[in-house]
Amino acid sequence: MHLSPDTMDMVDDGCLSTDNYHDLGKGGASGMGGRVHSIDVILGFSKDQDPLLNPVGPVGTHKVDGADLGEEEKQVTSDPYGHLQSLPDNSQQSAVYHDAWKGRWVNSEHKSDYGQFKLTAGNFYGDAEKDKGLQSSQDARFYATSGRFEPFSNEGKPLVIQFTIKHEQKIDCGGGYVKVFPADLNQADMHGDSQYYVMFGPDICGYSTKKVHVIFNYKGKNHLIKKEIKCKDDELTHLYTLILNPDQTYEVKIDNEKVESGSLEEDWDFLPPKTIKDPEAKKPEDWDDRAKIDDETDTKPEDWDKPENIPDPDAKKPDDWDEDMDGEWEPAMIPNPEYKGEWKPKQMDNPNYKGVWVHPEIDNPEYTPDAEIYKFDSIGVIGLDLWQVKSGTIFDNFLITDDVKEAEDFGNETWGATKGPEKKMKEEQDEKKHKEEEEEEEEEENKEQSTEADNEEKDEGKEEETEEPPEEGDEDDALPKDEL
């Protein structure tokens, strides 16, 4: 199921079927290569991904949040993903599009001071339109927003959760994960304690926390992965993918590259251990688990015992030392170079060594296998429920599907198509900024040098004025007449 913030209208109009993808748009098998049984919902923010303006299937009237565009109705065609192929340059449609996503995402009212998201591609991007996403816009805030889609179960199918994220603000502390909720979530009251099925994505706080969360809810309790998965911490857009398989295995990918995989039962504490130590078993009293023992034939040398510290032989009593006032003089103590420490006999192999005693284990009576740990019965909401100290993170290209290859292709068509130009734009901006900073520093240095030169000229002028010699005759005029 792809979830892109612009796709909600398909659900609202009843166009999305999670059981039969060919029902999408009620116009034949036009989506996702015509697969009949599929789970697919895309939530993106660019016009090219917005089924609000582009119902998949027959070309026809476009409605945004239930509002008919009337005379502005346009004919468009759709590709296999239901992306918009052509959209006339129309200011009314553009304005409607810009705010249309708000009708498909519900901001929680659990608290009155939640941070607000805005739609933007950010300061640098690969495509100004396609890279638009939800950006956190207020510092030191909690954020809580969610989008609903037709409920489905992943029973017997893979579950793939995927999205892109960009921390263009040089994030210092904040979450970047998504939560997938049961369909009965009260979106208007969503908060940190709302029960969810899956929490997945990066979390960064300082230098110590830079990891990918993979948390599953099992029987009402949230279980964290026991492995440490490092996340990306630069300012570029990255693609995060979680794959959950019916055989109880999983895989985590970043930028379409596997970074971790394994078994649900082994890497989470969903179930009690299969075996436990036998409470009736005890180590035999005659069990010798000492690999080495003291050599009884070894004896301590007669000259071994030496004091650890000795008086300093070079110390001398000060000439002004007064024993009546200062007491008896004693030289300072220094480490004894002949001190050898505590004597211990040599070690030898223990002839009675039996090895390390291993506590026998028995089957855990509390363990019951569960082949459906992976299964969630009513997936129906995806949300952002997080805290950010420094805002500016952009979320986009949300995808939920049962097709691993489809998710990889979708990632390459979205993130993969714009990552190169985005990086280039970022590098150009950084280079320009660095150059401007150098020019500012150079200009500042020139100003300082110019100021110093002006001050030196002024000082020289003052010295010339104060050191001007007296004119001829002035000295004689100052003398008394009798001396003349």
Alpha-carbon gap, residue 120 to 100, rounded angstroms: 13
pLDDT value for 76? 31
Q: What is the pLDDT of residues 325-365, one digit of tens each?
A: 889 999 999 999 999 999 999 999 999 999 999 999 999 99
> What is the model's pLDDT at position 441?
85
DSSP per residue, 135-185: EE-SSSEEEEEEEEEEEE--TTS-EEEEEEEEETT--SEEE--EEEEETT-
Residue 8 confidence (pLDDT): 42
Of 64-73, 249-258, 369-378, where does mean pLDDT reach its minimum?
64-73
Owner of token pair 């569960």: 370
- Least confident range from 60-64, 204-208, 297-301, 432-436: namely 60-64
The answer for residues whose C-beta is within 8 angstroms of residue 315's C-beta and 6 or more apart is 331, 332
**pLDDT, tens digit, 9 for 90 and up, residues 177-188:** 999 999 999 999
3-state secondary structure of 82: coil
In order of start, what are the domains of the chain with their CATH numbers?
A: 4-268+375-419 (2.60.120.200)
Any idea which of 127-136, 397-406, 454-463 has the lowest mean pLDDT?
454-463
pLDDT in tens, 22-35: 222 222 222 333 33
Q: Which residues pair with 335 in a beta bridge?
A: 309
The span from the CA of 109 to the CA of 283, in Å, is: 60
